[in-house]
């Protein structure tokens, strides 16, 4: 949404998908890779992401973006940093996806580490990306109807 994307009129996304910055466990990596699958492959140009760190520091443009677009927060752990930081920026959290909860259905699976995903990790990532995309399509449709 910023570097190289200053001309927002040409590339204005309809939905913002914001992963957490989780650095300690595989859940954070899955949240980010699922978001990239949506922004880069499933809904390019219609869904974009924003650096969570920009919200932490109160960046004006980032705050404006989360206030003017429906946001999907994708959090790795129960601390819900993405959701909370969007809310603290007075943004609109339309959907909150919790990777930690979603992964419970893959009982016994090894997803990889904080830096690498196993095959099971990539499979779970794609499932979560599908969940995000479905929610994003719903939000996009609602926005169009409005």
Binding site for other proteins (CB under 8 A): 1-3, 18-25, 27-29, 32-33, 35-37, 40, 49-57, 59, 76-82, 84-85, 88, 110, 112-120, 122
CB of 124 to other proteins, least distance (A): 13
Judge contact between 97 and 75, C-beta under 8 A: yes
CB of 27 to other proteins, least distance (A): 8
How far apart are alpha carbons 111 and 80 in whole angstroms? 20
CB of 70 to other proteins, least distance (A): 18
Instruction: Indicate the residue among 7 and 145 with the shorter CB distance to other proteins.
Output: 7
How far apart are alpha carbons 124 and 58 in whole angstroms? 32
CB of 59 to other proteins, least distance (A): 7
Instruction: Indicate the residue among 115 and 146 with the shorter CB distance to other proteins.
Output: 115
Instruction: Indicate the residue among 51 and 130 with the shorter CB distance to other proteins.
Output: 51
Across 1-146, the runs of DSSP E, i.e. the strands, are 15-19, 47-48, 70-75, 92-98
Instruction: Indicate the residue among 6 and 142 with the shorter CB distance to other proteins.
Output: 6
Given CA atoms 26, 138, 43, 8 in this order, what sign does their dihedral have? negative
One-letter-per-residue 3-state SS of 84-108: HHHHHCCCEEEEEEEHHHHHHHCCC
- What angle is formed at CA 77 by the lines to CA 73 and CA 79, rounded to 5 degrees? 80
């Amino acid at each position: 949404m910023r570097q190289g994307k200053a001309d927002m009129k040409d590339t204005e996304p309809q939905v913002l998908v914001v992963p957490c910055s989780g650095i300690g466990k595989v859940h954070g990596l899955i949240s980010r890779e699922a978001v990239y699958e949506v922004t880069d492959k499933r809904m390019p140009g219609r869904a974009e992401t924003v650096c969570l760190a920009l919200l932490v520091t109160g960046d004006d443009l980032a705050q404006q973006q989360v206030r003017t677009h429906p946001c999907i927060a994708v959090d790795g752990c129960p601390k819900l940093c993405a959701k909370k930081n969007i809310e603290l920026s007075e943004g609109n959290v339309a959907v909150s996806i919790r990777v930690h909860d979603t992964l419970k259905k893959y009982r016994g699976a090894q997803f990889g580490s904080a830096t690498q995903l196993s095959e099971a990790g990539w499979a779970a990532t794609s499932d979560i990306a599908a969940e995000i995309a479905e929610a994003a399509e719903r939000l996009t449709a609602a926005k169009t109807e409005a």
